[in-house]
Amino acid sequence: MAVPDIGQEGADAFGGDFGAVFEAIRADAQNAAYTERGIDPLYSASAEARVVVIGQAPGRIAQDSGVPWNDKSGDRLRSWLGVDRETFYDARKVAIVPMDFYFPGSGKSGDLPPRRGFAQKWHPVLLGMMPHVRLTVLVGSYAVHRYLGLKGSVALTDVVRGWRSFGPAYFPLVHPSPRNRIWMRKNPWFEAEVVPELQAAVRSALEG
């Protein structure tokens, strides 16, 4: 099925059927190499979701386990959000829609970036089917720059420090990877000032 590039029209093409979207993603020629190996797209979404988490792409551990954010990065992210695993993995509350739904492979300095064009094609469809979302948490540079319309030259640290400029709809974050421990030590204001505000925003979105 052809997928329009714009949100609500893309969602309407599937009649609000999340299962049909899942099958269309599996059948997409762009994902054929994964589907042929029995690897399904890894994301979580429902019409009832109030919070959307948009990260980079599943890591190898997540893809192998079939559970997104199923690693130390996920543990830290849930701590920042102030939610437990039950809440985080309840699609009626939190949707998990990364920039790519498949592990893109490993590079010299970590995982490869999400594939070009993937989010542009499938995000509008899924987001158009989630009318109750009140907060979108953008995790890492790829999601932040894409959704906030920023040039790649804009430093992620500056964006996160200025998070108030993008609310209440968006909340930009650095990636919670253990690789960012040095960044955490250099920027103590993040956990002292930003994380409490993030947790308050998540609570408000889930309870409101």
Where residue 167 sits, what CATH number does that domain have?
Answer: 3.40.470.10
How many domains, in total, are found in the chain?
A: 1
- Three-state DSSP class for 72? helix
Position 7 scores a pLDDT of 52
Question: Is 74 domain-assigned?
Answer: yes
Residues 6 or more apart from 110 whose CB is under 8 A from it? 177, 179
CA 178, CA 72: separation in Å to the nearest integer? Answer: 7
Question: Is 50 domain-assigned?
Answer: yes
Position 208 scores a pLDDT of 75
Question: Is 2 domain-assigned?
Answer: no
Question: Is 203 domain-assigned?
Answer: yes
Position 3 scores a pLDDT of 39
What averages of pLDDT result for each successive group of 10 residues across the chain (208 residues)? 48 87 96 97 98 95 93 96 98 98 87 93 95 97 96 96 97 94 96 98 95
Q: Which domain holds residue 153?
A: 7-207
The pTM (predicted TM-score) of the whole model is 0.93
Position 16 scores a pLDDT of 87
Question: Is 1 domain-assigned?
Answer: no
Residues 6 or more apart from 172 whose CB is under 8 A from it? 138, 144, 148, 156, 159, 160, 163, 166
Position 29 scores a pLDDT of 96
CA 163, CA 179: separation in Å to the nearest integer? Answer: 22
Residue with tokens 């890894």: 42
Question: Is 90 domain-assigned?
Answer: yes
Using alpha carbons only, what angle is made at residue 87 by residues 143 and 77, rounded to the nearest 5 degrees? 40
